[in-house]
Amino acid sequence: MNVLETSKLLDEELYSRQLYVLGLPAMQRIQGAKVLLSGLQGLGAEIAKNLVLMGVGILTLHDPHPTCWSDLAAQFFLSEQDLGRSRAEASQELLAKLNGAVQVCIHTGDITEDLLLDFQVVVLTASKLEEQLKVGTFCHKHGVCFLVADTRGLVGQLFCDFGEDFTVEDPTEAEPLRATIQHISQGSPGILTLREEADAHHFHNGDLVTFSGIEGMVELNGCAPRPLHMREDGTLEIGNTATFSRYLRGGAVTEVKRPRTVKHEPLDAALLQPRVVAQSPQEVHRAHCLHRAFRALHTFQQLHGRPPRRWDPVDAEMVVGLAQALEPLKGTEGESSEEQLDEALVRTVALSSAGSLSPIATMLGAVAAQEVLKAVSKKFMPLDQWLYFDALDCLPEDEEPFLNPEDYAPRDCRYDGQIAVFGAGFQKKLSHQHYLLVGAGAIGCELLKGFALVGLGAGGSGGVTVADMDHVERSNLSRQFLFRPQDIGRPKAEVAAEAAHHLNSNLKVTPLTYPLDPTTEHIYGDNFFSNVDGVAAALDSFQARHYVAARCTHYLKPLLEAGTNGTRGSACVFMPDVTDVYRGPASDADSEDASYPVCTVRYFPSTAKHTLQWARDEFEGLFHLSAETIKRYQQEGHPQGALISLADMDGPQVLTLLQVVLGVLRERPQTWRDCVLWALGHWQLCFHYGIIQLLRLFPPDKDMHLLYVLAAANLYAQMHGLPGSRDQTELRGLLKLLPLPDLQDLAPIFASDLELAWASAELGPEHLKKLHEALEIWSTGPPLEPLMFEKDNDNNFHVDFVTAAACLRAQNYGIPPANRTKSKRIVGRIIPAVATTTAAVAGLVGLELYKVVGGPRPLSAFRHNYLHLAENYFSRWVPFAPAIQKELLGVRVTMLLRGPAVLYSAGWSLEKQAWHLPLSLSSGHYGAAQAPGASCCFGCLCLNHLFLTDLHCLPWFINVSESQGPGTILQSFFFNCSSYIPTLKLLHVQPPTNFFNPPSLTRWQGIYVAKITLSSSAQLDALVVNHYELQLQFTCGNHTMEGPLSVDVQRDPGHIQCAGRFASPAGEIIQVPEMVTPGARLYTLLLPGMELQGAQMSITSAQDPPYFPGHFSINGQGWLQAPSQGLKGQAQKVFQLQILVNFGQGQSCHGMLIVKVLPAPSSQVSFL
């Protein structure tokens, strides 16, 4: 199969997130690969799962051994019904369902030399050393990549042999560096100056680069790679350019990645002279000891015909003796090593080696699968050559487990492999836990699978609650392995709960489809968290992580947290009183979805990201905001009122609206030709008349111009409910017949968007009159359809429009454009992801879960984790301890805090003080069974310890009603700073706002008084933001201290309004499959801060046939119900429902629900 055919078969929608990590060439190689995997216990199942999800061409399974009870602790494809069946046969069907594009085969015979020659990669798991040496020697000789993977209890081993001359085409995950050129001199050497000086620091001496898009010095375009030399002034030498044409403008310089060659030793040599992956000499020594431990375990098996017994001290001592008897390892130069064997380490490995643990199999299986992909894709550097991983820190430090061997004996149950390590008592404790899992995406699915395998919440009063408001999309299927094609459109939480229950029928999983944020604290409140033992967070935004972490701190709950980006991943644990709290980035501001200054985006772009942001704004203004405004004008039926609201809009918004409404048309489009004419006119406006006022027009990319007109015309047609066309040949012919619009026809009010920016934002009566006339024309006919940007549908022209618009914008400004794939990632804010990294961090979380559930553990037992699979980097470290607690003696305590929780405050009423003072910290009234160590200002800054006359500590918590206006005094502070002039600054506010004045500072009778007040622009609304954090900085002489002031905005009972997406102009979008049951509940209306009991809800918008199949309805409980006729045959239709909520006594609010009907999923897999 050639590359072109492979590319046609590659399902880019399914593998979209993976493509951003691996790239198309690597994915094409993976899709054509053939892999043999021998051994289908837990580790083998994990490797197989990851390879199938990531689209390896053919995977052949080999494991004739029968399924036994201990397999079920880590092998999620097997169940009690498979006991006695061949592991390979029992696993094949479920594996194949993960990805219909992968051929999953079974080999039932012996592994022969002829069989091995048929594969590019051979992987052995749970195999004997004799078999490893035999197969490894043959594979090395014949150029077949060979891997060995094994786990023994809490330790794992991975070996890679890719041969003596293996070429890595793309060694790193980073994209090639690319920068915009400012100037290139003629000379020897030629001097390259980059537009952004900071870009030069990313290049290094000797880097190879090539050039493109240069005008003038065209000899450099597409030249052979040239080496760079850095100069002290930030410019770059690029070799001789003396004979080249003079540089004029534009162009980009791009790094050329160099292939690298890897030389691996065969297994027999690597056993005696191991090269191990380690980050320090201490890790190297530990890895060498584990290397000898594994060899000793193989020798024990060969001598006794069995592995060491569970926690048998006699067998363990024999293993230690066998390890000591091994010949010394050889160093890098072949010399004998004099390293001392860590006997305690080997003994512990032997004692626990009979176990089979899901987290260890998950973590090592992910790394092994990534190495297989490196072998077939030639992407990223492979391991060199041994990796040893151990989590022996999961074992209790002060216990002697073999004193009670019966606790570790097999019980013929699915947890036997885990009981062999931790005992039956620990297993019972696991089963009674109740955990909250926040997020059912890729990491959430892996965690839920792990919970099912270890038995978390699978007995007694235990259980798992999974919270996720998203729905399954097709792009999820390559990583979120609990989902199948038939689940597309369903809530992730519900599907994941059902799948987890199928993995372990004893697991009790409760799905919740509400977000976990400030709007749902009436759901996830005191009662909810009082029944939760811990929280696992699998979230994709820092804002959400911070909120969940704050809730865990408040309720004193352990938090397990993980995240990934490409082949990078992290897993962390946060224990109350033991570790420091979560301190991730405050927001995603440092990521690629950060916003840019408006003036930069509109007039002075310098990067492809600027042009993409401009194109995304264009989409929003042209196809969403304009249609939404006109639609509202139609529905309200009050032209003058609509004009007043339009007059309040700023100039650019009005111009965008006029361009859409008028353009070159004087009436609503009726045909595809009208839409093309409008698109051609807008193309002229944006990329000729508009831009010519700023820059000279650069030579156009004709194909990209055609794509822009095609996409814009189709989107315009969609907005007006007209049929579009994908026929580019027909479009070319049509464009030849259409004259280019004149400038006067394009913008009858303003000559250009640049002129508008310089003009007053207020529109005069004449402008409003023209706008009124235009809107009158558009008010006839069916309502316009605002388009919501959807990144994952490659047939809707959304990404095509943004890509083409950004590319043309980039050409106008001489900026290297981004291709469609990169544009989709940036504009869609897509986080690159692969199944291997996801699984690895989930396994690491599972290991920390053992420690959290096991009981009180010291700080030294816990581990934060970071890995980078592309660069073979693995790091585990002990978390930081919590903030130091200061004991205050001989002072009057006026506030007692535990994290952000207020346990006592002298500012409370006397009744509230009297109720709280008698309570003990161990009584459970403060959200935990035990809460030792609380002291004044625990986890906060005591500004008053040195300088305040009264003991006021920060953080200070105050409540303010949303009805409070400008000038309201929120808090006063009293300072005693006699020798200096103090200062009190407001450093920043989260979330950012200008509602708070800088602190005022006055002096009264020798005491300084500071006041925090509301500013003149303050408009508090608890439904928008109900909590602000003001970071204050106090200075007295050389002493500088900081602390937060927390402001909680309280609802005003007399202030009734709808909020959230439901009340936004765009409305709340609901995705519903067309096969939904007639009359089924589609949505439950929840209004933050309001009780719906007694409220009257009604759908006020028209539901007239034939557009509506029947009437939707909404009852007093806030349930939106499907029409009695159902929605069959309504696929791809969108129904807009205006809903009135009447609270009585003249108080009401309204919002909009948008029901999008999804087609019934196909049972076949197609390749585009």
Residues with catalytic function:
599
Buried b (16+ CB within 10 A) or exposed e, 879-891: beebeeeeeeeee
- Tell me the β-bridge partners of 974: 1009
Q: How far apart are CA 806 and CA 793, in angstroms?
A: 19
**Angle between helix 820-827 and helix 608-620 axes, rounded to 10 deg:** 70
- What would you report as the CA-atom Rg of the chain, rounded to the nearest whole angstrom? 33
Residue pair 608/815 in contact by the 8 Å Cβ criterion = yes
For 774, phi and psi rounded to 5 degrees?
Answer: -65, -40
For the stretch 303-308, contacts whose Cβ atoms lie closer than 8 Å and that sit 24 or more positions apart, written own/partner, are 307/353, 307/354, 308/350, 308/351, 308/353, 308/354
Buried b (16+ CB within 10 A) or exposed e, 517-532: eebbeeebeeebbeeb
CB within 8 Å of 152: residues ≥ 6 apart: 294, 297, 349, 352, 353, 355
Buried b (16+ CB within 10 A) or exposed e, 179-199: bbbbebbeeebbbbbbeeeeb
CA distances to 444, 642, 830 from 585, rounded to whole Å, are 21, 42, 18
CB within 8 Å of 635: residues ≥ 6 apart: 783, 1101, 1138
* Residue 978 CB neighbour total at 10 angstroms: 11
Closest by CA to 491, choosing from 428, 420, 440, is 440
Token pair of 1131 as six digits: 């696929």
Query: What sign results for the dihedral spanned by CA atoms 909, 911, 916, 917?
Result: positive
Kind plus residue range of the DSSP H or E element containing 1081: strand 1081-1084
Residue pair 469/516 in contact by the 8 Å Cβ criterion = no
Q: How far apart are CA 977 and CA 949, in angstroms?
A: 10
User: How does DSSP assign 876-913, residue by residue?
Assistant: EEPPPPPPPPPPP-SS---EEEETTEEEEETTS-HHHH
DSSP summary character for residue 407: G
Give the CA count within 13 Å in the CB-facing half-sphere of 495.
27
CA distances to 483, 654, 661, 1163 from 648, rounded to whole Å, are 47, 10, 18, 51
Strands (DSSP E) contained in 469-589 are 509-512, 534-537, 559-565, 568-574
Distance of CA 736 to the CA centre of its chain: 46
Closest by CA to 810, choosing from 977, 682, 695, is 695
Token pair of 219 as six digits: 């000899």
Give the CA count within 13 Å in the CB-facing half-sphere of 1166.
4
Dihedral Cα 375, 377, 379, 384, nearest 10 deg: 0
- Tell me the β-bridge partners of 510: 465
Amino acid identity, position 807: C
For 536, phi and psi rounded to 5 degrees?
Answer: -115, 125
CA distances to 61, 353, 359, 420, 942 from 69, rounded to whole Å, are 21, 16, 18, 12, 57
CA distances to 132, 575, 733, 977 from 670, rounded to whole Å, are 72, 64, 19, 76
For 17, phi and psi rounded to 5 degrees?
Answer: -70, -35
